[in-house]
Amino acid sequence: MAAPRPMEVALLASVFVVAACGLVYELAAGALASYLLGDSVLQFSTVIGTYLFAMGVGSYLSRFFVRQLPAHFLRIELMVALVGGALPAVLFIANAYIPGSFRFLLYALVLLVGVLVGLEIPLVMRILKRDVALKELVSQVLTYDYLGALAVSVAFPLVLVPQLGLIRTGLLFGVMNAAVALWALWLFRGELRQLRLHALACLLTLGALVAGFAGADHITTLAEDKFYQDGIVFTATSPYQRIVVTNGRSGHRLFLNGNLQFAERDEYRYHEALVHPVMAAHGAPKKVAVLGGGDGMAVREVLKYPGVESITLVELDPNMTRVFSEHPVLSQLNGGALSSPKVKIVNTDAFGWLQAGSDVFDVIIVDFPDPTNFSIGKLYTSSFYGLLDRRLSASGYAVIQTTSPLVARKSFWTVATTIEAVGLTATPYHAHVPSFGEWGYLIASRRPYRLPQALPPALPEGLRFLNLESLPQLFDFPQDMARVPAEVNRLSNQLLVNTYEQEWGKVMR
């Protein structure tokens, strides 16, 4: 068999790069959609479906490109480089500066990139067809196409996004697409008309993308300063989420994927209500687990009980626990709680941690984000609460933060029904947190819950919000938050995610 010619090798290498770049743009669009719109399964499904449809349209349109195929290929590469490379940056800025435009722009860009990517491979195959037999051509092109997709699918969540962020990742692969165009310019320099204009277009595109890559931090800051209003203290992108901490007139605020998690001015209300009704009611908790709550605020409240011997904090994202342990300003917010010798930090998925272990705890505090997508929604299912029951001591209490019983009334009572479905008693209560409004919690236990007879003392060491006189009011539900019929949220259906989206969606519109 004859050795492949240099041009053939170059074009097949281009196929590898083209496939990698196309998948990066698709993954970046899906990740941004899940960050900003929630429900990652829905967003990735619709983005991927739109992208594949657009690729089919592009493949069909390629039949109308008859002459000057290398020139068409070069121009399409430059267009993919510009549109795909800039896609994350454009969407970030649009979300901040043109509210309501994100969804339309997202699918418009995905369609455009998909059509352009759909044009690329057929054109490469037709160029190669001049020198390669059809049988070998199809197998070689598809092999390199799939290899490029495999490389990116592994690198995107593990290396690219954690190390570069979405904006730089998009621009980097835009540069790679432009480099393929420059390579095509050199390979087909003898066939191309207006060679100088093509060379100028390549250089201008590369220059714009490289400049964007160098200034990616400024682009991100520009978008996030507008979106969050307050000054940004800290940002990080992990495989799990975008972490942003701001500081303004309300003090420090934590956002995960654009959703507010706490505000310094009133987080004490949320965390005191979360922790103390169960800690004080138990009487003498020694082993405590905190699931979620990587900011350390719940751990701070648990440490107000000197009898506690150990606290196991299970937080999926190591970025969260690291920054709230090491950042001087943020660690001050939790009183240095994560540096306590009583605290053991486990960076893993809470569902898997419950399955794998056998230790039991006197109190388990469940402080996850609201069920905005199915990956979080699994932590509100009967399967999860069944595992929670196994890790709870006979006299123990678990408490679960459970969204707003006023805004998301059915969602709140769905969680109560789900807890009861595994044989636990569900005791609901609520507290007013100005940054969130009326917020709900549920206590899960085998024994009936009874109000505590004592709480930690008031300031400076103790509580700012709760006292024995006000505590009973938290368990009183007015008519507009009273229980409504709800189904069990199971791992197989995850109906809570849809219910939650419907209820909160009415408020956001």
Each residue's pLDDT tens digit, 278-331? 999 998 999 999 999 999 999 999 999 999 999 999 999 998 999 899 988 889
φ, ψ of residue 465 to 5 degrees: the values are: -115, -55
8 A C-beta contact, residue 278 and residue 398: yes
Question: Which tens digits make up the pLDDT trace of 376-387?
Answer: 899 999 999 999
Among 65-79, 446-460, 482-496, which is the least confidently predicted range?
446-460
pTM as predicted:
0.76
Query: How much is the pLDDT for 2?
Result: 47
Q: How many residues does the chain have?
A: 509
Higher pLDDT, 133 or 124: 124
Partners of residue 311 on adjacent β-strands: 288, 343
What percent of the chain stands above pLDDT 70?
A: 94
233 pLDDT band (50/70/90 cuts)? confident
Please state, in angstroms and as integers, the Cα–Cα distance from residue 377 to each residue in 40, 43, 67, 370, following that order.
11, 15, 53, 8
Domains 6-224 and 267-508 share a fold: no
| pLDDT for the residue 84 | 94
pLDDT at 51: 92
**Residue 370 annotated in active site:** no
Per-residue model confidence (pLDDT) at position 3:
47
Report the 10 Å Cβ neighbour count for 292.
23
Q: State mean pLDDT over 127-152.
A: 72
Asked if 477 and 431 touch (Cβ cutoff 8 Å), the reply is: no
Grouping H, G, I as helix, E, B as strand and the rest as coil, residue 458 is strand
- Sheet holding 251-256: strands in order across? 231-237, 242-248, 251-256, 259-263
pLDDT at 99 over 80: no
Instruction: Read off the pLDDT of residues 456-476 as tens digits, 9 standing for 90 and up.
Output: 875 456 789 999 999 999 999
Domain spanning 6-224, CATH architecture:
Up-down Bundle (1.20)
Look-up of token digits 């956001």: 508
Three-state DSSP class for residue 163? helix
Strand partners, 262: 254
Q: How remote is the C-alpha of 123 from its chain's centroid?
A: 36
Confidence label for 506 from pLDDT (cuts 50, 70 and 90): low
Which position among 367, 370, 389, 476 bears the catalytic label? 367
Would you say residue 367 has pLDDT above 50? yes
The reported pLDDT for the residue numbered 316 is 92
Please state the rounded mean pLDDT for residues 1-5. 49
User: Residues 95, 117: contact at Cβ < 8 Å?
Assistant: no
Residue-wise pLDDT for 201-225, tens only, equals 999 999 999 999 998 888 877 777 7
Asked if residue 398 lies in contact with residue 392, where contact means CB atoms within 8 angstroms, the answer is yes
What's the mean pLDDT when you consider all of the chain?
A: 88
pLDDT score recorded for residue 302: 96
Residue 351 near residue 375 (C-beta atoms within 8 A) = no
Q: CATH number of the domain at 228-262, please?
A: 2.30.140.10
User: What pLDDT digit, counting tens, does each position of 330-365 carry?
Assistant: 899 999 999 999 999 999 999 999 999 889 999 999
* Residue 256 three-state SS: strand
Highest mean pLDDT among 1-15, 124-138, 214-228: 214-228
pLDDT at 444 over 80: yes
Amino acid present at 128: L
Max CA-CA distance within the chain? 89
pLDDT at 1: 44
505 band by pLDDT with thresholds 50, 70 and 90? confident
pLDDT score recorded for residue 12: 72
Q: Residue 134: pLDDT above 60? A: no
Break the chain into its structural domains and give their ranges.
6-224, 228-262, 267-508
pLDDT value of position 390: 96
Q: Which of 180, 330, 164, 135 is nearest to 252 (CA)?
A: 330
CATH of span 267-508: 3.40.50.150
pLDDT digit string (tens) for 432-442?
999 999 999 99
- SS3 label, residue 447: coil
120 Cα distance to chain centroid:
31
Give the pLDDT confidence score for residue 44 in this predicted structure.
85
For range 122-126, the mean pLDDT: 82
